[in-house]
Structure 1
């Protein structure tokens, strides 16, 4: 039994065996396009954002669009969420610490601010989550 203790202790120190996050937005926010690519892979496509000045890139990771404002990852649209429960704990799957939303309706929840970022919102579609929008620095 004592021989197994160091292995169990290391697993507990590392926070477990796997990370359940779909995508870690706090880790990506503020990073350059090349830094983001090194973390989640190359984008499927890129073009000028129609929402703000900046380049918008589509990534396979969690079906995510990232807008790079002034060359830094700033806006995140995560579409790959329709298989997830619409609940306040779903924000954890985007890399955030557990936190109650500041505002909640039957179809949307918002956190403002959240872990040093400007804004996060989770939207409902049908019976499940639909998509999340996170604005890191610019609104």
Structure 2
């Protein structure tokens, strides 16, 4: 949005007018997936990054967080609706076949350990400590 200056809440939450492009979203997803793969390898597990192709990135029309129209419709963006009325990006990347085969090969206890390493909370590979600490710092700042 030309001429818009982010306010304190937008800066704190990382919101505000954004330009979306399929290329930028694919690159962001690639970096995130490669970081997860590195983390999972350090935990002793295999992980094949699920990187979306251009046909798997949908740029949605509509107001985005940080715009007045968005705030009037949805509030200030603490919870953002996942429907076609809001603007933003929708990404759907399928697991590579190697990933599915690997997951199917794990015993129930190994799969539980894998899931814990990947999704186990604020210090897992999908939620690294840096993200958790930055959220807690933001939470205290509020």
TM-score (norm 2): 0.24
Higher strand share: 1
* Bigger radius of gyration among the two: 2
Higher helix share: 2
